[in-house]
Each structure stands twice: as C-alpha cells, then as structure tokens.
C-alpha cells in the first residue's frame, strides 16, 4: 500500500466519521518541527557533523456506531540534512482499521492497514539509506456466534498483502481460522483455535508454503491483573519441495499492579517467516523527537534474507511512581532465533531504564540508559555488536496543546562487523495539537 492508498484509507475514515458520527467522534492532528545537531551523521568511525530537520504530523481518529467502527493512528516524518550527509527520507508509521458489522456483531467485515519504517539490515548502521517501508493491508469477513450461555464460536477468513520497499519479500497471504471459547467460571476462560494460512512469495521461487497450527488457550482474571496461557503446535510445508518445518508454540502473558506499579511479563515461542512480524524488535526509550514519549524500535532484524524462523522471546516491563513527581520505567528483553535454511542462529538482549520527574511551571525532566547486544553464529562464524545509549531531556507544556523539548543524546557502538562509532547529538522539538 503506497502513500496514496494510505491517504485514501484515512480520508474515507475521516469522511465516515465526520458524516455519520458527530458526538462520538474522537480526532486529533498534531504537527511538529524538530532540529537535531548530529555529531556523527554518517554513523562511522570518522563521521561529519550535520543538522537534521524533522517535520512531523500525527493523526488519530476513533469513531463507533452500531453498524461500524473506525480507528486510525499514523505518524509521518520528513527528514532533511543541511549538508546532505544522508539522503532525505519520509517515514510512515501507524495503523488503521474499518469494521462493518450487524447490530449483534455476528457478521463482521474488517479492513486493516499497517505501515512501519524498519531497519533494513541491522549489521549495518541506522541511516536513512538503510531504512525500508513495510506495508501490510488485510481484509476479510468473520462469523461470531454464541451457541450457549457460556460458549462462543468464531470463523474467519483474512487476506493480506505484504509490500516491503527495496526487498524481494512481497507476498500475498490468506488465513482461515476457527475458534471455540468457553466461560469456564466467572474469572476463567478456556478455548481452542485452529488456523491454516497460505503464503505466495511473489519474487522468490520455491518459497510458497502452507502453515497449519492449533492452540489451547487459557486466561484468568486476578485480583489486580490477568494471566493468559497458550500451547499448541505449528507446521510449515513448502508447496514445491514439500519440505516441512514444525515446532511447538507456547506462551504466557502476566500483568499485575500488585508490585507497587504496573508489571508485565511475556514469553512467546512461535514459528514464522521473517518477512512479517516484529522479528527481534527491542523496545527502547530513546525516541528523542517526541517529548516524554520515548518508546520506539531500537533494533530490527537483518531483513535482506527471507527464511522461516523459530523464535523465542521473553520481555519484562515495570513502571511505577517513586514519588509524587518521579516515575521510573524498566524493561528487559531477550530473544533467540533459529533459521530453517540458513545455517544461522541469532540472539538479542536489551535493557532500558528511564526516569521522569515533573517540575513546577509545566516543566519535566527525562533521563534514560539503554544497552543492547546482538550475537550471530553463521556457519560457525561468530559476530557480536553492543550499543549503549543515554539521553537527557527537558520538556515544557505551554497550555493544553503546545509542547516543547530539548535534550542531549549519546550513542556508542562496538561491532565485530561494520564500523564502531560514537555520536553526541543535541535535539530540540516543538509540537502543537491543531484539533
């Protein structure tokens, strides 16, 4: 899906929301301008300084009616370099969905779009030329029926089109899903689900495959949280060679507010291909261009290959108030990845700590540290990378709709492959909510 398609989806969403829902419409548009003095714009051993200008626009739309609902969130950023040390780039991140259904929501038609700007090859530096745009557009119907006071069934078909810039990993997919859910008790729910998906790789010979999976699901509400479990089996069969790859799939999600704050623990083991999904994504707290909103992707996988991956990921997040004015956020992530065709394994680990403190007069301070590591074993050749980041920001809120921030950021990278470097940046940003 290109920019014109995205504009059409957003425009239709806005028209639907504007024409059919007035009182229930939630919408906002925020525009921003950012300047970054990059101490090492080329991310190299002897990189030059440059000034990067960022123009940002963020759109949010939410609307609901008895027969449809609309949700859209997009962020567009245009970056330009004064000394042309890097190429100019426009990035788009966000998602939208339009659901049409009858009053009881027995029949639902869904249209969904997801846009992301990802790092093309994590063995190379995070520069505009190493960024790629991924678009996923999905649509399809679902049938949902309550067959008893405690039991529900669901049948769905979802077709997806995956487009990735500058990479031969475009594909068309169709997924068929059926599920049964039972309210076992007031706090406990169990269920079974089965899925068959078919993938057609448009530019790769012999990679088309069919995937089949089945899972047992369990969830229970706790006094101050929730736990969900799933366990099952998945198999991928290549259409041409009939080669099969299978793996158990299981996971757990645990959320609680009993430990003095909000804590979330997730573990997931699954069988996927690397052209979709957040392969190896580690959450960071260093998106300096957005005041007090530091969550964003730190690293992503080397997507210059296309393979089936067995991935195991675990993540722990904790946030709490230390005092009335001071908050802390902690994150730990680890992932291990094994490939079907490549003689290769990868491991990624990340740790982040972020502090924020509210001051008088609408001011606030933010400080954070992030350490991430990457290890690769490819045909017996081992390579490692380690990146350390630190930031300090001062934020100011002017009234209800105007925000500004300025800060310092330092990055240091040690790499066996690619260049090791360090960079000290100065960042300033101002944003205004138009409506």
Whether residue 317 contacts residue 330, with contact meaning beta carbons closer than 8 Å, is answered with: yes
**Residue 391 pLDDT exceeds 90:** yes
Residue 394 exposure: Cα atoms within 13 Å on the Cβ side: 7
Query: Does some domain include residue 198?
Result: no
**Residue 131 pLDDT exceeds 50:** yes
Least confident segment among 45-59, 279-293, 381-395: 279-293
Whether residue 120 contacts residue 143, with contact meaning beta carbons closer than 8 Å, is answered with: no
* pLDDT tens profile 267-320: 999 998 876 544 433 333 334 333 333 333 333 344 445 678 899 999 999 999
Query: Does some domain include residue 193?
Result: no
Provide mean pLDDT across the span 171-200.
Answer: 95
Q: What is the mean pLDDT of the chain?
A: 83
pLDDT band at 371 (very low <50, low <70, confident <90, very high): very high
Q: Which of 75, 57, 72, 69 shows the shortest CA–CA distance to 27? A: 72
Cβ neighbors of 135 (< 8 A, separation 6 or more) are 1, 2, 113, 114, 115, 161, 162, 163, 164
**Residue 12 pLDDT exceeds 60:** no
Residue 209 exposure: Cα atoms within 13 Å on the Cβ side: 21
- pLDDT of 301: 40
* The pTM of the whole model exceeds 0.75: yes
Q: Look at strands 89-101 and 188-201 and give their pairing.
A: unpaired
Query: Does some domain include residue 361?
Result: no
Query: Does some domain include residue 96?
Result: yes
Query: Does some domain include residue 108?
Result: yes
Q: Which of 252, 226, 250, 380 shows the shortest CA–CA distance to 316? A: 252
410/77 Cα distance (integer angstroms): 22
Whether residue 415 contacts residue 385, with contact meaning beta carbons closer than 8 Å, is answered with: yes
What percentage of the chain carries pLDDT values higher than 90? 53
CB atoms near residue 45 (< 10 Å): 10
Better-predicted residue by pLDDT, 24 or 92: 92
* pLDDT tens profile 135-154: 899 999 999 999 999 999 99
Which range of residues forms the domain containing residue 40? 1-169
327/285 Cα distance (integer angstroms): 14
Domain count, the chain: 1
CA pseudo-torsion sign 121, 126, 130, 132: positive
Tell how far CA 49 is from the center of its chain.
30
**Residue 354 pLDDT exceeds 90:** yes
Cβ neighbors of 147 (< 8 A, separation 6 or more) are 153
Query: Does some domain include residue 140?
Result: yes
- pLDDT of 3: 45
HEC profile for the chain? CCHHHHHHHHHHHHHHHHHHCCCCCEEEEEEEEEEEEECCCCCCCCCCCEEEEEEEEEEEEEEEECCEEEEEEEEEEEEEECCCCCCCEEEEEEEEEEEEECCCCCEEEEEEEEEEEEECCCCCCCCHHHEEEEEEEEEEEEEEEECCCCEEEEEEEEEEEEEECCCCCCEEEEEEEEEEEEECCCCEEEEEEEEEEEEEECCCCCCCEEEEEEEEEEEEEECCEEEEEEEEEEEEEECCCCCEEEEEEEEEEEEECCCCCEEEEEEEEEEEECCCCCCCCCEEECCCCCCCCCEEECCCCCCCCCCEEEEEEEEEEEEEECCCCEEEEEEEEEEEEEECCCCEEEEEEEEEEEEEEECHHHEEEEEEEEEEEEEEEECCEEEEEEEEEEEEEEEEEECCCEEEEEEEEEEEEEECCCCCEEEEEEEEEEEEECC
Tell how far CA 105 is from the center of its chain.
28
Tell how far CA 16 is from the center of its chain.
27
**Residue 62 pLDDT exceeds 90:** yes
Least confident segment among 47-56, 215-224, 409-418: 409-418
- pLDDT of 243: 87
Whether residue 384 contacts residue 372, with contact meaning beta carbons closer than 8 Å, is answered with: no
Compute the CA torsion angle 389, 391, 397, 400 (nearest 10 deg): 0
Query: Does some domain include residue 165?
Result: yes
Q: Look at strands 151-164 and 26-38 and give their pairing.
A: unpaired
Provide mean pLDDT across the span 336-364.
Answer: 90
Query: Does some domain include residue 345?
Result: no
- pLDDT of 300: 37
Class of residue 340 by CB neighbours under 10 A (exposed 0-12, middle 13-18, buried 19+): middle
């Amino acid at each position: 899906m290109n920019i014109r398609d995205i504009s059409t989806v957003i425009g239709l969403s806005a028209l639907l929301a504007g024409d059919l829902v007035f009182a229930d419409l939630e919408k906002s548009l925020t525009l921003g301008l950012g300047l970054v003095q990059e101490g090492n714009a080329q991310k190299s051993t002897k990189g030059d300084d440059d000034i990067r200008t960022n123009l940002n626009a963020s759109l949010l739309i939410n609307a609901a009616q008895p027969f449809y609902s609309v949700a859209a969130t997009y962020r567009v950023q245009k970056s330009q370099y004064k000394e042309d040390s890097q190429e100019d780039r426009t990035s788009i991140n966000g998602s939208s969905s339009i659901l049409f259904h009858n009053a009881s929501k027995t029949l639902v038609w869904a249209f969904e779009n997801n846009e992301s700007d990802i790092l093309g090859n994590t063995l190379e530096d995070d520069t505009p030329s190493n960024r790629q745009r991924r678009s996923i557009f999905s649509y399809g119907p679902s049938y949902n029926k309550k067959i008893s006071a405690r039991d529900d069934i669901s049948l769905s078909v979802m077709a997806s089109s995956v487009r990735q810039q500058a990479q031969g990993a475009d594909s068309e997919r169709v997924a068929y899903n059926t599920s049964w859910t039972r309210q076992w008790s007031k706090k406990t729910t169990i269920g079974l689900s089965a899925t068959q998906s078919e993938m057609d790789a448009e530019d790769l010979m012999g990679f088309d495959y069919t995937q089949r999976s089945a899972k047992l699901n369990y969830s229970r509400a706790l006094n101050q949280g929730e736990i969900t479990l799933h366990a099952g089996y998945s198999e991928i069969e290549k259409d041409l060679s009939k080669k099969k790859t299978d793996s158990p799939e299981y996971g757990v999600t645990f959320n609680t507010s009993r430990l003095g704050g909000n804590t979330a623990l997730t573990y997931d083991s699954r069988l996927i291909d690397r052209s979709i999904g957040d392969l190896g994504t580690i959450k960071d707290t260093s998106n300096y261009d957005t005041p007090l909103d530091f969550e964003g992707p730190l690293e992503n996988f080397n997507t210059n290959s296309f393979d089936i991956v067995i991935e195991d990921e675990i993540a722990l997040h904790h946030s709490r108030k230390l005092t009335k004015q001071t908050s802390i956020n902690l994150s730990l992530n680890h992932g291990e990845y094994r490939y079907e065709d490549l003689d290769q394994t990868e491991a990624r680990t990340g740790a982040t700590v972020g502090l924020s403190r509210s001051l008088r007069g609408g001011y606030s301070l933010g400080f954070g540290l992030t350490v991430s590591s990457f290890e690769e074993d490819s045909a017996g050749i081992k390579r490692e990378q380690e990146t350390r980041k630190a930031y300090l920001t001062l934020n100011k809120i002017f009234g209800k709709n105007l925000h500004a921030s300025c800060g310092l950021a330092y990055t240091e990278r040690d790499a066996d492959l690619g260049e090791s470097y360090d960079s000290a940046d100065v960042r300033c940003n101002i944003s205004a909510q138009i409506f």
